[in-house]
A and B are shown apart, each in its own frame.
Chain A
Amino acid sequence: MEAGSFGIYLFLFMGLYFEVFMLITFIEKRPAARNNSLPKRFPTVAMLVPCWNEEKTLGKTLDSLLALSYPADKLSIMVIDDGSRDNTAAIGKEYAAKYPQQISYHYKENGGKYTALNYGITHTDAEVIGCLDADSFVAQDGLIEMMKAFEANPGAMALTPAMKVFRARSVLEMMQAVEYTFGIFYKKMFDNIQAINVLPGPFSMYKREVFDKIGLFRHAHNTEDMEITFRMHSHKLQIANAHNAVVYTTVPSTVRALVKQRTRWSQGFLQNSLDYKYMYFNPRFGNFGLLVLPFALLLFVGGLYSAFYVLSRLIGGLVARVLNIQSTGVPLSVPTPHVEWFFLNTSMMTFVIIAIMSLTLVAIVLGQRIAQNKLSIVSIVCYFALFGFVAPLWLARAAWGTLTARESSWR
């Protein structure tokens, strides 16, 4: 076996191990089904909506918050304009004027998302603080489900929602819809092993004590949501997943925008990993330190390695073919495919890849069940056909950005 393919087998083994681990976790503890009960208590909630040039989606985000099934006197919505230059201020003010009891508009100089969130946290005394990106929309019972999840997990200091893609129409959006769906599965499994890796911008909820104990959000390489999750784990603060609390988010519709977003996430992961490297392989931090962090890094490296391996072989094969044509004089022709099984690629790698893809499919199906989501076959095909081609783009950019200490950008 050549050294290059040995590396691929190693990463395939680790990838498969991770998937198997997650399925065992699922079998051990299945997510509770949705029910129509209400929480015993309705704590005061402040929903922070940080925004920077969000004129296109802010109105719809606020509409979804206004439609929440939650006592109006217990819910306050804070629009925190982080120095927008578009029509965001007008929309924010209009809603604040129309719904003064619930919505307040706050303007501050541009300082980054984390500063907007911190502004909100320091200007509210609500018991629970929720964050909602201004391009996301909450399901009507979302907040109720969050409070039920807090009651079901009294030790939980923060909650993540089930994130779904809002109106996946293009091929790229459909690919992300599948990715988010099996993300729902993984998030729930991470909850089972108390190792949730990120409290995402759309609709994560924090008990006020979190900020009292560990401080406010930080810049954290433009991934303040990831950093606060790492920090919570480092302080042994429990995070749970409210899989019935659904939030819909808009996703990038162009490859350029997607790569930019994911580069920020991936680079943020690498840089935060450097900041919190003491948590890696450290049993003091449970499954988060022993499994989730090391495997996230391993899958990052593995994805990059596999992409370079495949690319180098493709380029090598292409160069060899061109040189061969030049030196032999044999004209280029399309190889005739053999139809007999004898000529099929039945290497061990083929079967291992089939196993990994099958388990990924199982995770997607389980994610659909958990989120009561329905994905089309076309979406699933889009995912398997596209993800392997686009993901290496942001992995490579994130690795380069980390190595050269270049700051990732938001948009």
Chain B
Amino acid sequence: MNFSRYALAFVITAAIFGTAFYITHRLDAQRVADIRTAEDTLSIDLLSTQTQFELLGSLDCSALGTQPILSDELNSLAARLSVAEQNLGTDNPQVVQLKKQYSLLEIRDYLLLQQISQKCKSLKPVYILYFYSNSGDCADCARTGDVLTYLRQTYPDLRVYSFDYHLDLSALQTLIHLKKVTNTLPAFIVNNRAPVYGFKTLEEMQTLIPELKTLATTTSATSTSSR
């Protein structure tokens, strides 16, 4: 009997497991770095659009383009953040930090959208402020996420700003306070109307947002995971 062979096999196996753990850890760290870079880029783009808007005022709305707000980038960021949440967990400090920054970008984007749409009357944005929770107190949030994902894919011009209701971010809590959103999740605010609470099917959601009829649709919608 050669017991050293048993020990050596254990050490090598443990080393392979350790290597797998290390690679996974490094890739997750790279993902976090990617999200951070994307958030930084988005932040600069938002600031640029805001500055452009302030420079031009309402003098030349067309100069802002038809898509002044970075909806695609925000959606892409949301998908990446979702992957990071899955891999690292929703309680991971880095994920929470990225989520805070993302929520802040969403609020800034939302405010800019409000400002632009007030001055440029030709722009008639349709948007939803969606409040969810990952803390186990919102059984319907996953289903609601699926409905909103589908709507966002069907109507590319529909903006969905999703916020974790319990996120410890003063700007978000101020928004929640201003919009008088109570802790009955999921909750939605469509185009500045009063908050609506509870799960809504696709049909109910389409009834709730009659403005959707004014938006262009994609020929075929595809589904992805959505927070």
A residues adjacent to B (C-beta < 8 A) = 13, 16-17, 20-21, 24-25, 28, 193, 283, 286-287, 290-291, 324, 327-331, 333-336, 338, 342-343, 346-348, 351-352, 355
B residues adjacent to A (C-beta < 8 A) = 1-2, 5-6, 8-10, 12-13, 16-17, 19-21, 23-24, 27-28, 31, 34, 79-80, 83, 87, 143, 146-147, 150, 201-203, 220-224
Nearest chain A residue, comparing its CB with the CB of B222: A336
Decide if B1 touches A286 in the complex (CB within 8 Å): yes
Chain B CB count within 10 A is highest, among A25, A338, A352, for A352
Decide if B143 touches A348 in the complex (CB within 8 Å): no
CB < 8 Å: which of B19, B27, B221 contacts A333? B221
Q: Cβ of A352: which chain B residues have Cβ within 8 Å of it? A: 16-17, 20
In angstroms, Cα B202 to Cα A400, docked, is 46
Q: Cβ of B221: which chain A residues have Cβ within 8 Å of it? A: 331, 333
Decide if B16 touches A20 in the complex (CB within 8 Å): yes
Interface majority SS (helix, strand, loop, mixed), chain B: helix
In angstroms, Cα B2 to Cα A287, docked, is 9
Give me the 6 closest cross-chain CB pairs, A-B, nearest first: A351-B20, A329-B202, A21-B9, A336-B222, A17-B13, A329-B201
Decide if B202 touches A324 in the complex (CB within 8 Å): no
Known pairs A25-B5, A328-B146, A348-B21 / 14 extra A-B pairs, C-beta < 8 Å: A16-B16, A17-B13, A21-B6, A24-B9, A283-B1, A287-B1, A291-B6, A327-B201, A328-B201, A330-B150, A333-B223, A338-B79, A347-B24, A355-B16
Q: Cβ of B24: which chain A residues have Cβ within 8 Å of it? A: 346-348, 351
In angstroms, Cα B2 to Cα A193, docked, is 9
Interface majority SS (helix, strand, loop, mixed), chain A: helix
Nearest chain A residue, comparing its CB with the CB of B16: A355
Nearest chain A residue, comparing its CB with the CB of B21: A348
A-B contact pairs, 13 of them (CB 8 A): A17-B13, A20-B12, A20-B16, A24-B5, A24-B12, A25-B5, A328-B143, A342-B31, A342-B80, A343-B83, A347-B87, A348-B17, A351-B19
Decide if B146 touches A13 in the complex (CB within 8 Å): no
Decide if B13 touches A346 in the complex (CB within 8 Å): no
Nearest chain A residue, comparing its CB with the CB of B31: A342
In angstroms, Cα B27 to Cα A308, docked, is 30
In angstroms, Cα B213 to Cα A117, docked, is 82
